[in-house]
């Protein structure tokens, strides 16, 4: 990795950055934590503006960044807090559309450079889709540089009027070898979940609308006919938990809702298959973690998933219950195909940028935007 400056004014002062995060997207939150760790290690002062629950989940302070609680809101109090934090920044970097819009408002009237990263395509229809287009135009026209995590997002930013849009794929922290805690082996994890002599399937996503959990529950009805019956565990919390639990109980589905977990890596290592029924993220965290951990993945062909995984996963049409169900059944009955997907996943993951690559690219953008310009 080539050295990149982390200072401004000819080395006289440390670069001060503010990372603005909405906190509702796992991919962007994991990226900000990774980015903050890399920037702090290179001597950059980092302040993360995000809801308190985001810091509890991702521990930005644990990697040396300062955290300031700023709710996911554009109300006057939240905006005043954000504007105050940004006042001392040499550069502001916002992640996601809504966080970027709030950063634009907070920097109104100031010349502070604004970098915006688009992590995913915002899926909307009707009047909301029109509003999203207006927000996108406002953000990209105000941003100094827009970083898109896929070529599609870069083209979208340019189409909305971005002055400078660049491809900047992000990396999530790579799991440790084996993805397994030495004192809690996979066999123990499976025993704790009740999956000793049956296949274990895992999905990781908040229990919110649009995540595809309904499809998983539909598929679980068919999996009940298998012998042995697979167990699906879902790690994540959200407003639809009670509704899903009622359906699981009423239909006697082989599904366990685990709630929010801090041991997803161990759960994933113990699983036979990882399931991603829907994702609009450009670079799905679960998809990356599954391939890194050599766990075969079945995913809907949505968002940036096809570009991310290539042919290293079983991809099915979006919202096609029969196709998703069938792919899982076929894989569970085909150990050779599962072994091939593990090897293909390892090769595909090797093509992704590392955390160091990501930090180096972002820091080079920062250096470009904060470097003193020669007098003419």
Q: Which residues of 252-273 are buried (b: 16+ CB within 10 A; e: fewer)?
A: ebbbbbbeeeeebbbbbbbbbb
pLDDT of residue 10: 41
Q: From 30, 284, 360, 62, select the one nearest 172 (Cα to Cα).
A: 30
Q: What gap in Å lies between CA 373 and CA 10, rounded to an integer?
A: 11
pLDDT tens for each residue of 32-51: 999 999 999 999 999 999 99
Q: What gap in Å lies between CA 77 and CA 258, rounded to an integer?
A: 35
Q: What number of H helices and E strands is found in the chain?
A: 15, 15
Long-range contact list for 65-73, CB < 8 A, 24+ apart? Answer: 65/19, 65/36, 65/37, 65/39, 65/40, 70/20, 72/22, 72/23, 72/24, 72/98, 72/99
- pLDDT band at residue 328 under the 50/70/90 scheme: very high
Least confident of 18-27, 154-163, 200-209, 298-307: 18-27
- pLDDT band at residue 3 under the 50/70/90 scheme: very low
Provide the angle, in degrees to the nearest 10, between the axes of the packed helices 285-292 and 335-349.
Answer: 110
Q: From 186, 180, 182, 121, select the one nearest 148 (Cα to Cα).
A: 121
Q: What gap in Å lies between CA 196 and CA 370, rounded to an integer?
A: 56
Q: What gap in Å lies between CA 303 and CA 340, rounded to an integer?
A: 24
pLDDT of residue 151: 84
pLDDT tens for each residue of 53-85: 999 989 999 999 999 999 888 889 999 999 999
Inter-CA distances, 23 with 55, 73, 192, 233, 304, Å: 9, 11, 30, 24, 20
- State the average pLDDT over residues 86-97: 96
Q: What gap in Å lies between CA 327 and CA 274, rounded to an integer?
A: 12
pLDDT tens for each residue of 171-218: 766 655 444 455 567 889 999 999 999 999 999 998 988 899 999 999
Say whether pLDDT at 372 is over 90.
no
Model-level pTM?
A: 0.76
Q: Are 143 and 113 in contact (CB under 8 A)?
A: no
Token couple for 169: 């794929």
Place of tokens 């709030």: 102
């Amino acid at each position: 990795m080539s050295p990149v400056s982390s200072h401004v004014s000819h080395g006289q002062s440390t670069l001060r950055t503010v990372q603005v995060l909405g906190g509702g997207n796992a991919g962007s939150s994991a990226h900000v934590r990774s980015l903050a760790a890399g920037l702090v290690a290179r001597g950059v002062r980092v302040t993360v503006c995000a809801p308190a629950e985001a810091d509890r989940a991702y521990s930005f302070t644990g990697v040396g960044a300062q955290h300031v609680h700023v709710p996911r809101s554009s109300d006057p109090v939240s905006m005043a807090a954000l504007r105050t934090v940004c006042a001392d920044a040499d550069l502001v970097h916002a992640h996601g559309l809504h966080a970027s819009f709030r950063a634009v408002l907070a920097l109104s009237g100031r010349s502070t450079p604004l970098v915006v990263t688009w992590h995913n395509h915002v899926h909307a229809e009707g009047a909301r889709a029109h509003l999203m287009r207006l927000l996108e135009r406002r953000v990209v026209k105000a941003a100094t540089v827009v970083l898109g995590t896929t070529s599609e997002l870069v083209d979208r930013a340019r189409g909305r009027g971005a002055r400078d849009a660049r491809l900047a794929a992000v990396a999530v922290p790579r799991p440790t070898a084996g993805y397994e805690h030495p004192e809690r082996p996979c066999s123990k994890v499976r025993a704790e979940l009740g999956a000793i002599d049956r296949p274990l399937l895992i999905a990781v996503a908040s229990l919110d609308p649009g995540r595809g959990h309904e499809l998983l529950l539909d598929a679980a009805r068919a999996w009940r006919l298998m012998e042995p019956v697979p167990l699906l565990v879902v790690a994540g919390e959200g407003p639809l938990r009670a509704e899903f639990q009622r359906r699981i109980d009423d239909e006697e589905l082989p599904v366990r809702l685990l709630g929010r977990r801090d041991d997803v890596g161990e759960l994933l290592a113990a699983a036979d298959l990882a399931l991603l029924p829907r994702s609009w993220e450009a670079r799905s965290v679960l998809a990356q973690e599954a391939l890194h951990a050599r766990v075969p993945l079945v995913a809907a062909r949505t968002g940036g998933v096809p570009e991310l995984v290539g042919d290293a996963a079983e991809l099915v049409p979006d919202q096609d219950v029969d196709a998703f169900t069938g792919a899982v059944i076929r894989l569970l009955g085909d150990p050779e195909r599962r072994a091939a997907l593990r090897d293909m996943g390892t090769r595909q993951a090797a093509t992704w940028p590392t955390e160091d690559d990501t930090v180096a690219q972002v820091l080079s953008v920062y250096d470009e935007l904060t470097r003193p310009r020669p007098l003419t």
